[in-house]
Each structure stands twice: as structure tokens, then as C-alpha cells.
Amino acid sequence: MAETLLITGGAGFIGSNLVHRWRGARPADRIVVLDLLTYAADPSQLDGLDGVELVPGDIQDQALVQSLLERHGIRRVLHLAAESHVDRSITGPAAFIQTNVLGTFALLEAARAVWVGQAGCRFLHVSTDEVYGSLGATGLFREDTPYRPNSPYSASKAASDHLVRAFVHTYGLDAVTTNCSNNYGPRQHREKLIPLAISRMAAGEPVPVYGDGLNVRDWLFVEDHCAGLMQVLDHGSQGETYNLGGGNEWRNLDLLHLLADLVDDALGRSRGTSRKLLTFVPDRAGHDRRYAIEAGKVEAELGWRAETEFEDGLGRTVAWYLGRNGS
């Protein structure tokens, strides 16, 4: 049965990919996208999509959110809107508290007010593995790993996760939370590592490498992530948290070496050309050493697992950005 749903942050990286995937899988549904259209959003990503309404607005505007839920009869919300760049959270943390904490609170209050007494309503809160802090050389983040956020960004996301949990247990709101590893793929803002590196390599400009380049991240292709979000929304259990990981642990330096070779191949250059652009810079303040997710719960309970091979996903990402640049 067709429905109308609300996706916050749907003009951003993961949000726009989710809108595209949803339209392809469920074309009868209608999607309302609520997005503040900050620097990281690109409304052109939604051009040409039937059944999608873009509403420029702030998730902190509870009255606006309630009006959208009521006017469209929306019973499911996918909350992806967030300030997400760690570097920006270090230099300007206030925006992260406003959007990630107070914005999530306003959305929860709106949903609670409109959905009271209704069945079949659900709130999906999309979060990050950074709330768990930093891992040593071994071990994996699980859903029961204690929270130890180390940046203003991760602290703001941890606070929003706790708010969602509190609304489930205090008010009975049907909400689920996902914590994902680092996403990569098309439509990501160029401030993030992979698109930044691709654009600089293509232009022959220095590519910054924080510290010794040996920090480890688990990488998840954005289309796999979106498939996981849809599965959790449809079949996850109320109040539960699901970790969505890619099973792709890479040291930053090794990732950049692979990326450099893919860019050189795509541009018909000699391998090694882009590797010479890697430039070590002072480490980020409070830079977590390693993230890695154990995604066994979502696989066992909901049948989801990441399917995209890393080099294939990275190659598709390179092709998209170089095509976008007209290279």
C-alpha cells in the first residue's frame, strides 16, 4: 500500500541516495524531504524525481514538522539531517548542538504530538559509530558497547541517540536507531576524505593526510547503507539499535594509495602520479584511532549485510566524481 514518508536531510549525501533508492524500489510512495539546504546539501540531486516534494526548512521548527506530518498523513520518519563534519565541530560546535540535539528533540516532540493514539507509526534515527569512541588494535563496536564520544560531533550524536531511547521508554514512541560506519559513494560533499582526495588528485593538488595516516575506518558503500535503513525501518524491533557496518577496515594511507591508483587509471595517467600528491599534515585534535563495526545483529535478525566489494564501490565513486567534474 502506497504511503507518504518524511526524510529529513534528504538533499544531503546519504539522504539523497536514500531518496533515489526508495523511488526506484517503491515508486508508488511519495516522499517529503525536509532540508535546511546548508552548504552540504544539493537540491539538484533530487531534480527529475517524481513524487518527491522538497520543503526548505529547519528540523528545529517543531510547528513546521507537525504541519507536514498532519497535512500529508505521514506515519514514518527517516531522520538523517545532521551536521556531520568532525573538523567543523571542533572549530564551531554550537551548530552541532543546535541541529543534532535540539533538532532531533523537536522532531521527536512533533512525532509524539501528532502520532498519539495512532498505530503503525515509526521514527528511524540515523546515527554514527563515532558515538562509541575509539578502538584499539582489536575489537569491534557492538550495539551494547558503552558510549564514549570524543569530538563535539560525536557527543552531539550520542545525545540525540539517548533522546530517542528516552522517548521510546518514557512515551512509548515506536523508534529505532542505526549506527553506521563511514559511508562513501556518489553525492557526498567534497569536504569529506574520499571526494576531497578525488577532486584534488584530478586537479593535481596536494591531498592532506592527517598525522601518520594509520587511523583505521570501516567503510560502507552508501547504497548498501540505504538498503539497510529500509530493512530496519520495515522490520526492526521497537526501541532497538542496529549497527550497520561495511566489514571494510582500511588505514587512511592505504585507502588513499588505492584511490590514487584508481584515479590515475580513470584519467589514463601513469600509476604513482596521484600518490605523489599525498601530503602529511598535523593530526586532527582528538583524532580517534580506529572504528570497526560488528554487524551480526542486523544480519541475524533482519537479513541485511553489506554486499558491495570495496574496490568496486570505490571505482564507481571515482567514476561519478570525475564525470561530475567533466574529467
Q: Which one from 129, 161, 223, 224 is the annotated catalytic residue?
A: 129
Residue 129 annotated to the active site: yes
- Out of 83, 130, 224, 249, pick the active-site residue: 130
Rounded CA-CA distance 88/152 in Å is 9
The three cell numbers of residue 81 are 539531517
Sheet holding 216-221, edge to edge: 182-184, 216-221, 249-251
Residue of 58, 132, 153, 174 marked catalytic: 153
The answer to whether 40 touches 113, Cβ cutoff 8 Å, is no
Distance, CA of 40 to CA of 84 (rounded, Å): 9
* Measured CA distances, 142 to 34, 134, 161 (Å): 31, 13, 15
Torsion, CA 107, CA 306, CA 3, CA 70, rounded to 10: 0
From 62, 76, 1, select the one nearest 32 (Cα to Cα).
Answer: 76
Distance (Å, whole) CA 263 – CA 194: 11
Residue 130: active-site member: yes
Q: Which residue numbers are catalytic?
A: 129-130, 153
